[in-house]
Structure formats: C-alpha cells, structure tokens
Structure 1
Amino acid sequence: MMLLAQALLTGLLASLAAAANFDQGAKGINTGEFLQLAPGARAAAMGEAYAAAADEASALYWNPAALTRIKSRSATLMHASYVADSYFDYAAGAQNLGDWGALGLGAQFFSAGPIPRTDDAGGDLGEFRPYGLALSLGYANTFRDIELMDDLNGVSVGFSAKFVRGAILDHDNTAAFDIGLLTPEYFERLRAAFTVTNLGRGLKYEREYAPLPLAFRFGTAWKLLPGWRATCDIVFPRHNRLYPALGTEYSWTVSPAVSLSGRAGFNAVSIGDIEGFSSVSAGVGAAFHGMSVDYAFLPLGGLGQAHRLSLTFDF
C-alpha cells in the first residue's frame, strides 16, 4: 500500500507541476465548456466530489476506472434545467465483463436555447441555438495477481475516448480522451482516485482554435459510519485556479430492497465569479429494486438556480 500511496502522490505532484503552467487568468478562453457540466443528480448534490465515489454508469464521466465497480449492468439518464431556456441532458450505459473488465457508453448534450441574432446596425437576423454534443466510449479493468508488483493488485485503470462537437454560428468537431485511476477500498473505509480529463485538440471557431477544458482531479471517499460517507476532490483546471469540492451522503436502509438518501455538497469553483448565494448544493434520492431516483438543487446566485433529476437502473 505504501508503494501505491507514493505513486499516487508522485502522480498528483507531477500533474500539479505540469498544471503550474496553466493560466489562471485565462477564464473563458476554452471551447467545449459544456464538458464541465456534471452529469448525475447524486454527484451534483455532493458538490461534484465524485471521482472516488462513482459506482454506476456515470462513472464513465467522473472516472472511467470506476466502471469496474459496476456489478453487472447500469444505465443512467439525467435532465438538468439551467438559466433562461438552456438545458443539459446525459445518458450512459455500462456493462461489467468479469475478468475482461468493463465497458461504458455515454452521450451528453447541452443547448443554450434560442439567442437573437442581429447585424451591425441592430437589424433582426432571426435566432441561433448554440449547442454542444459529446459521445463517449470507455473501458476499464483491474490489476490482479501481479506477483512482482503486488501493491498494484486491486487497482483499477480506465480510459475513455470522446467525439466532441460544438456549435455557435458554425460548428467544429474534435476528439478528446479521459484517463482514470481508482484504488481498492483500504481498511474497509477509504478509496482514492486520480483523473485527467479532456485531453485533446480544441474546437475551431472563426479560424482560431481554443483549448478544451483540460483538468486534473484527485479524489477520496471515506466511509465514516455505516450508511454515511464523505468525499473530497481537489481539481486543477487549465482555465482556472485550483479548487476543492466536498460532499457527504447518508443513506437509510428502509428494507432490503428500499433505501433513502440525503446529500449535501460544496464546490469552490465559482467563488468570486458569481454574486449571491452559490457554491453549495443539496439533494435527495430513493432506491428500490435496482432503480434509483435522485434530485439535486444548486443555487446560482444572481443567475437563479439549477435543478437536476436523474434515473439510474442497475440490473
């Protein structure tokens, strides 16, 4: 375990050293910003601190290595309403292949809604509808029976490839990749995770390329008490300063087939950027007979609030 802990720490420090060249004043220069919209109401309610906690189909987004935690098959559907007429939809499915690993498929779509278009004189040119689309394919597997590097046994690694399309007045396509690492559960309480997301060429608008929102993430998940867990992610994005995300979840087992959950979270990414009450989140969930219904509420300060509703099926 010590060797693995040292490797995780070395990887984190190396990533942060590389990210030291990121421009913290470069907010807003990225394309594909919709790739940062987090799928899953459960994850959103927990402050998006989910890299080490994902255990269903949306793991494809949060940490592709966590696809190995899916016991058989899983599917997730989500709809999120944002300010004005904008919205975000997500769908993913995953299949555990036993010793062959796990596969995941996903799609995410963001629409900014109709926006008036005018000429230089203010004349009406109708409307345009900016949108973003990403299609993902991921694979993960777990190290087993490695005699020379026993410390790696139980560690999962995963990657995903994404087709990304962005459209404003015109559109462009690109490819991107995510990489993830997930440890086994130590002391029956603690997991750690590390991800790199949105590696790839940016999108091109008006003859110029702008980068995708590349980010490094280090996450942990603790079981504090039976039914109660806490999560913490440290995120270093290309376009912003390092920020923490914190989450907690408590689940009550009503019967062997039914459970209820309450969740809360904090995410510091928008501190100083949005006026009013923001950065916190809350939500609830209910699971019964392999189906989960989850809801999250996110205040957005002066922009209003966002609501997310998701369905997860494990079968």
Structure 2
Amino acid sequence: MKKKIILFVLIISGFSALSYAEGVNKIGTAAATFLRIPVGARAAGFGSAFVSMAGDPSALYWNPSVIATLDKNSLIIDHSPWLPGINFDFAGIVLPLGNFGTLGLSATILQTDEMDVTTPAAPMGTGETFTASSFAVGVTYSRYLTDRFSIGGTFKYIQETIYNSSATGIAFDIGTIYETPFAGIRLAAVISNFGTKMRMFGEDLNVRVDIAPDQEGNNQSIVGKLNTDEFDLPLIMRIGLSGEVFDTEDFRLTLAADGVNPNDNAQSVNLGAEAAFLNEKLQIRAGYRDLFLDNNEFGLSFGISVANINLWDSVLITTDYAYQAMKHLGNTNRFSVIIKF
C-alpha cells in the first residue's frame, strides 16, 4: 500500500508541474462547451478523475476504451439541474458483443428554460420567447487488443441552437486503458472532441440593409446576412491513473488522478477517492476538480451510491448522487441511474 501511495504522489507532482508549463491559454474560445460537462454522478462526486476508472457505462463520455471492461448490457441515465435555468441530461447504453468487441450509443442534451426576447426598442420584452439548446449523439466501439489493454473510439454529431439559428459539427474521441501488472494500477489516455469547427447559421442572422443610404431610388430593404466566426470544438487530452489501495470482500479504497489539457483553458489536475463497503453495495466518494487552475470555479465534490441491487433475475440497479460545490454559479446536484441486465 505504501508503494501505491508514493506512486500516486509522484504522478500528481508531475501533473502539477505540467499545469504551469504554459503561460498562455484561450479561455472562452471554443464552441459546444457543453461537451466539457462531466457525465455521471459517480464521476462528478469523484472530482472528474475518471478516465481510468473501469466498469461504469459513463465511460461512453470519459473514455470509450473502458466500455470493453463491461461484461453485461448496461444503461445509464444522468440528470442535473446544471445551472439556474439550465438542465443537463445524458443517456447511454453499452452492448457487449462477445469476441466482436463492445458497442455503445449515447445522447447528451443541454436545454435552457424559456427566455424573453428583448430588443433595443423593447428592453422589457417583445412578448415572444426563445430557448437555447445543445445536443450530441454518439456511436462508440471498443475492444481488447490484449487481456490488459483496450482501445475505443466514438463518433459524435453535435448541434447547438439559439432561437432560429444553429451550428453543427462532427467530432471523434479516442481512448486507451492499460491495466498494469502492478497490483491492478490502471493507466489511461483520451483525446476528446477532435473535429470540425462550428459556425452559426439561420434566420436570426438576416438583416435589412440599405446598400446606398446616400442615394435615392434604390431598394432600401435588401436582405443581408451577418457573417459569424468559426470556433473550434473543446478539444481535451486527459491522462489518468487509478488503482485500489485496499481491496477486500468487505472494503475497497480507490484513488484516482487525471491530468487535463484543454484547448480553451489552462492545464489542471482532478483528484478523487472512493470507499466501498458491504461487498460494493454502499460506496462513498469525494474529489476535487481543476486543481492548480487559476480562478477555479469548482470546489470539493461528494457522492454516494447504493450499488448493484438485484431487482429480479440478473438485473442490477445502481443509484448515484453527487454534490458539486461552485464558487459563483451555485452548487449543483447530480443524479444517475445505472441498470445492468
């Protein structure tokens, strides 16, 4: 156990050194940033240190290679009132195909409440309302290349909509996980959201233009279109390490650390710990997200699971809850249900 803890300290020290390697970042320069919202209450309670954690269908988001570790059909439904007036939902299913690998399907939706349309002439509202939404659908495939090493990938279609305008794009995730011979320590690496740029198009960008305001007799109501900029997707590279410090039939303690390198922010580190009791039936966890990041919005997170409850025959259900402290935007609650059948 002492060697494992020393290894974790060395890895975290290395991640912290990386977090100061760059003095320049591009905060707020990516489109479709809802793709950075963590999926799964277990992962959220873990401080988002989750790319090397096995056995959970939320891996459809975190690391597509991990779904190869699932030996049963698994369904996950995740819901969070993310910020005031905004709801976040994720659903995914994992289908093991035996010697042919593992297939996964997923959908992510971010939806706002209705908002009033305002204009310079009607700052209190025109009487109309609008919403903004983002969604992504993904297809994932993973398989073992050896008994300890698996690789996986996800293809995603992405769309963001504001009122009558929208932007679309496609992206790919690719990940690997390796279970080392050293007492079950797992190493993982993932690149997420590698894809096209996104640009807004739609009726809301149409404007009336008088192309010759100093001349009479011309058409004063020509329809023009505002030309919007293109923005990159939130490309993220994550490197993760996790392992069991204690692992008996009655008690398990798991530690995890992720190094995170996004294209629209500075580098940071996520840390998490999880304790399991009663033969994995009860799990509690805590974590810290975006360690070493300047102006970090996130604080400590906590979570609890009632896991692997047998409903009937071979159907198992797990319910997860997580609490994420935030400094300015209000604390969030996460709820997930996982069904294995």
TM-score range, shorter chain: 0.7 to 0.9
One of 283, 298, 304 as aligned partner of 1:284:
304
Offset, 1:116: 2.8
One of 232, 247, 256 as aligned partner of 1:231:
256
SS in 1 for 2:42: helix
Q: What is the aligned length?
A: 286
Query: Which whole-Å CA distance do the structure 2 matches of 1:115 and 1:279 have between them?
Result: 29
Query: Which whole-Å CA distance do the structure 2 matches of 1:87 and 1:24 have between them?
Result: 32
Partner residue, 2:135: 133
Query: Which whole-Å CA distance do the structure 2 matches of 1:191 and 1:269 have between them?
Result: 21
Query: Which whole-Å CA distance do the structure 2 matches of 1:176 and 1:273 have between them?
Result: 29
Partner residue, 2:43: 43
Partner residue, 1:245: 270
What amino acid sits opposite 2:326 in the alignment?
L
Which segments of 5 or more consecutive residues in structure 2 lack a partner in the other structure? 1-10, 201-226, 311-315
Is contact 1:274–1:302 with CA below 8 Å preserved after alignment? no
SS in 2 for 1:240: coil
Query: Which whole-Å CA distance do the structure 1 matches of 2:28 and 2:160 have between them?
Result: 15
Query: Which whole-Å CA distance do the structure 2 matches of 1:76 and 1:188 have between them?
Result: 29
SS in 1 for 2:328: helix
Alignment TM-score, normalising by the size of structure 1: 0.85
Offset, 1:204: 0.6
One of 295, 301, 304 as aligned partner of 1:273:
295
Query: Which whole-Å CA distance do the structure 1 matches of 2:25 and 2:175 have between them?
Result: 27
One of 163, 167, 177 as aligned partner of 1:182:
177
RMSD, aligned α-carbons? 2.3
What amino acid sits opposite 2:100 in the alignment?
W
Query: Which whole-Å CA distance do the structure 1 matches of 2:267 and 2:25 have between them?
Result: 12
SS in 2 for 1:156: strand
Query: Which whole-Å CA distance do the structure 2 matches of 1:127 and 1:269 have between them?
Result: 39
Offset, 1:129: 1.2
Offset, 1:101: 0.9
One of 275, 286, 289 as aligned partner of 1:264:
286
Query: Which whole-Å CA distance do the structure 1 matches of 2:72 and 2:228 have between them?
Result: 46
Matches within 5 A, 1:87-98: 87-98=87-98
What amino acid sits opposite 1:237 in the alignment?
P
Partner residue, 2:5: none
Partner residue, 2:237: 216
Name the larger-Rg structure. Answer: 2
Query: Which whole-Å CA distance do the structure 1 matches of 2:271 and 2:131 have between them?
Result: 34
Partner residue, 1:154: 148
What amino acid sits opposite 2:132 in the alignment?
P
1:298 matched to 2:292: no
In structure 2, the CA distance between the partners of 1:208 and 1:23, relative to structure 1 (3 Å rule), is farther
Query: Which whole-Å CA distance do the structure 2 matches of 1:270 and 1:203 have between them?
Result: 30
What amino acid sits opposite 1:241 in the alignment?
A
Is contact 2:290–2:296 with CA below 8 Å preserved after alignment? no
Q: Which moved more, 1:244-253 or 1:119-128?
A: 119-128
* Percent identical residues: 28
Alignment TM-score, normalising by the size of structure 2: 0.79
